[in-house]
Amino acid sequence: MEDLVESILDYVRADYTDYAIMINGEWGSGKTYFWNNKIRNKIDSLSFNGKKYTTIYMSLYGISNLEDISKKIFIETTQLMDKNMRKYMTSHDKTSIPEYAKTGLDMAHLFGVTQNGDKMDYAQFFSTDDKVLCFDDLERANVDVIDILGYINNFVEHDHIKTIIICNEKELSTKLKSSNLEMKTFIATYLLDKEGTLLTADKPMVEKIGEKIEYVFDKANDYERIKEKLIGETFEYAPKFNYIINGLLMRYETNEDLIRFLREHTDLITNTFIKSGTRNLRILKHALNDFKKIFETVNKFYPNTNLRVLQTMLIFTIAVSFEIKAGKITKDKFVNISSNEEYKSILVSSRVLMDNRQFYIKEFDNNYYFNFKSEYRFFKFIEVYVRTRIFDMKTFKNDMEMIIQTIDTEKLPGYKRLLTEEYWKISDDQFPYVIEEVISNVKNGDLKLIELVKLFAYFSYFSRRKLIPYEMQEVKEIFLDGMNLAAETSEYCDNIEEELSRIGIDVGEDMNDVLQHFHELNRKLKIKMYKEKAEEIFKCIPMKMEVFYDKFTTECSKTPILNYYDVNKMMQRITCASNEDIMKIKEMLLIRAKKYRREIEAEIPFITELKATLDEYCAGKEVNIKTVTLREFANDLENILNLYKDLPRRRIYTRKKAIDIDSI
């Protein structure tokens, strides 16, 4: 960013220029903020070759004629010549006159009113070599862009005034193409009809009309021509969002609790902002202002709300703000969702039903909560506040009471309190009971395997600080034994890093043995899971083939599921299938291997053994459609194996035991 600042200053310092420069960036990305806080002051304080530069800033937003621009320049210029005005603005740290005041000044000049009889300093007024003009919001003017650029060109080409134009060229291009679209479409249709090409079948009608509009009304080319003449350099404004977001947070420095929370969760803010798919910092600024109200209200009425709930509120506030205010959705997408429970039920039903609302909610959840697990992900009071600007206290309290009943309560099991709250929020009186309750859960194998790993990190931490009456070795033995019991009822965990990242304390070296044991048990659970999945899918052959095709293609395309099934059982099922299904299966396996050969490489031993079994089965058999079909099946298995001949082997595969695909 400093390089961009220096490049702009180099342009200002240049002895002679006959061109303007452009700063291009998306709406809301902070271009105006960049001008006001990084560029303007440096130019105003710049002295070069005996000249002290003065900036004149104008927003073209809403300008409806060129005379308005002249009026703005006049007012901005004359304010610098009026001694009393300059003295007032300096003493009050003002850099520009408010718009309402400009109206008064405009009327004063119209009627010949002067300030204390001061006469205009024409020498200063006509001096141009120390002025720097800045035109902002070019794409938001209500005047033809070509006319505005032609107007600006007078200052640049004839007066050689340093000129900076700030705009969003992407929106400018859209504006140029979409202006008077109905009229353009009518004329283009008329011309095509006169040419006799409107109804010809060589191209779709929409495409022909679009091409004719572009040919006849090519404003974009006019823009490019005048831009080439006027603009010497275009700088792309692509801010470093971490830096800018930190700047946005500075406005909350007086609120110690809020600023501490926001600073600790800058990554959440940044990630949610990036996931919005926009660069609109203006919306983010408004969202953070909304969250200030939410945070303060929650802390006032429900001061013991757990950290995870507050984190989710932050994500949800930013996410909903972008979805609604960036025009990505209509406001009614969330209107009919009354609670978190209904939100979650929509997510479940979206797998079966495909109406637009359900599809959108699923996409929203997958986007903003990807890699962020939270039971409570929808807050009606926040959605209403963002959508209507009304903070409904009744809805707020309903939401918070429901949260208390489901998540944020001292009635929660001890292990959940340790995993979802900051442990120091547990009172000294309650803490020993929580510890003994969790120890009992661990010894009985009541908890999930991954939960034991996370809990061990806390108990290790507590033991090192003498917060519990257990030595480290004793804690480790209790947890290792408990993990063996928990593995009997736990499921395989495939998002280990994400789960472990939620541990809210420093992890010590004591974790190494526990993690190693966890990975061993988790690998066994993975093998068990895939064996069960293989049995569930392949038992559909030959009686439920439609179910088999669906499950295999949707759940196992990239998974070496064959490696977890018995070859002889597969052989029996294939030979009992119809000839048509045998052909379908072999074609499906071949296509899958070509597409995902690296992902399913671990199936090589199974395919090798199945081919040998098929060859043996078909040897000496009477020639009929079935045996020919099975031989072709075996040939395609050979073709699959040939796909791997040019791949370097990463390990030696064996059928003696199931292979853990993560280790490949």
The DSSP secondary structure of 245-264, one letter per residue, reads HHHHHGGGTT-HHHHHHHHH
pLDDT score recorded for residue 99: 46
Give the pLDDT mean for 513-534. 93
pTM: 0.44
Distance CA 446, CA 545 (A): 39
Stretch 492-511: mean pLDDT: 74
Fold exhibited by the domain 2-175: Rossmann fold (3.40.50)
Q: How far, in Å, CA of 189 to CA of 640, rounded?
A: 56
Extents of the domains making up the chain: 2-175, 241-406, 426-520, 539-663
User: Beta-carbon neighbour count of residue 578 at 10 Å?
Assistant: 12
pLDDT at res. 123: 42
pLDDT at site 648: 60
H or E element: which one contains 165? strand 162-167
Rg of the chain, C-alpha, whole Å: 35
243-259 pLDDT, tens digit per residue, is: 677 777 888 888 999 99
Q: Is the pLDDT of residue 442 over 90?
A: yes
**Beta carbons of 129 and 51 less than 8 angstroms apart:** yes
H helices, E strands: number in the chain: 32, 7
Strand, helix or coil for residue 422: coil
The answer, yes or no, to whether the previous bond of 239 is cis (omega within 30 of 0) is no
pLDDT recorded at residue 282: 83
Give dist(CA 563, CA 552) in Å, integer.
14
Per-residue tokens: 257: 């609790």
Percent of all residues in the chain with a pLDDT value above 70, rounded to a whole number: 78
**What is the C-alpha separation between 270 and 89, in angstroms, rounded?**
37
User: CA–CA separation, 471 vs 375, rounded Å?
Assistant: 34
- Own/partner long-range contacts of 333-341 (Cβ < 8 Å, ≥24 apart): 333/357, 333/360, 333/361, 334/383, 334/387, 335/387, 337/361, 337/378, 337/380, 337/383, 338/380, 339/378, 339/380, 339/399, 339/402, 340/376, 340/377, 340/378, 340/379, 340/380, 340/399, 340/402
Range picked from 55-59, 85-89, 103-107 for highest mean pLDDT: 55-59
Which of 109, 99, 39, 111 is closest to 74 using CA atoms? 109
User: Terminus-to-terminus CA distance in the chain, angstroms?
Assistant: 44
* pLDDT value of position 330: 58
Work out whether strand 47-48 and strand 51-52 pair parallel, antiparallel, or are unpaired: antiparallel
pLDDT per residue as tens digits for the range 572-582: 999 999 999 99
Percentage of residues of the chain with pLDDT beyond 90 = 35
The tens digit of pLDDT for each residue in 614-664 reads: 999 999 888 999 999 999 999 999 999 999 887 665 444 554 444 443 443
Mean pLDDT of 429-452: 92
